[in-house]
Amino acid sequence: MNSARIGWIGLGKMGAPMAARLLDAGHTLTVYNRSAARAQPLLDKGAELADSVQVLGREAAIVFSMVSDDDAIQGIALDAGGLLEATRPGLVFIDMSTISPAMSERVAAAAREKGVHYLRAPVSGSTTTAAAGMLTILASGPRDAYEQCLPLLQALGKKLYYLGEAEQARYLKIAINMMVGVTAAMMGEALILAEHGKVEWAQMIEVINNSVVGSPLLAYKAELLATRNFAPMFTAVQMAKDFDLALNAGRNANVPLPLVAISRQFLGAMIASGRGELDFFAYVTLLEELSGLGRPADRERN
Domains and CATH numbers, the chain: 5-166 (3.40.50.720), 171-301 (1.10.1040.10)
Q: What would the pLDDT profile of 257-282 be if each residue is shown by its tens digit?
A: 999 999 999 999 999 999 999 999 99
The string of DSSP codes covering the chain is -TTSEEEEE--STTHHHHHHHHHHTT-EEEEE-SSGGGGHHHHHTT-EE-SSHHHHHHH-SEEEE--SSHHHHIIIIISTTSTTTS--TT-EEEE-S---HHHHHHHHHHHHHHT-EEEE--EE--HHHHHTT-EEEEEBS-HHHHHHTHHHHHHHEEEEEE--SSSHHHHHHHHHHHHHHHHHHHHHHHHHHHHHTT--HHHHHHHHHTSTT--HHHHHHHHHHHTT----SSBHHHHHHHHHHHHHHHHHHT---HHHHHHHHHHHHHHHTT-TTSBGGGHHHHHHHHTT---HHHHHH-
Distance, CA of 69 to CA of 292 (rounded, Å):
36
Q: What would the pLDDT profile of 76-117 be if each residue is shown by its tens digit?
A: 999 998 999 888 899 999 999 999 999 999 999 999 999 999
Q: Identify the burial level of 200 via C-beta atoms within 10 angstroms of its C-beta, where 0-12 means exposed, 13-18 middle and 19 or more buried.
A: exposed
With 70 as the cut, is the pLDDT of residue 48 above it?
yes
Q: What is the mean pLDDT of the chain?
A: 93
pLDDT score at 143: 97
Task: State the pLDDT confidence band at 142, using cuts at 50, 70 and 90.
Answer: very high
With 90 as the cut, is the pLDDT of residue 293 above it?
no
With 60 as the cut, is the pLDDT of residue 299 above it?
no
Across residues 144-150, what is the average pLDDT? Answer: 96
pLDDT score at 3: 63
Model's pTM, two decimal places?
0.91
With 90 as the cut, is the pLDDT of residue 229 above it?
yes
Task: State the pLDDT confidence band at 297, using cuts at 50, 70 and 90.
Answer: very low
pLDDT score at 144: 96
Q: What would the pLDDT profile of 61-77 be if each residue is shown by its tens digit?
A: 999 999 999 999 999 99
With 50 as the cut, is the pLDDT of residue 138 above it?
yes
The string of DSSP codes covering 186-254 is HHHHHHHHHHHTT--HHHHHHHHHTSTT--HHHHHHHHHHHTT----SSBHHHHHHHHHHHHHHHHHHT
Distance, CA of 165 to CA of 178 (rounded, Å):
23
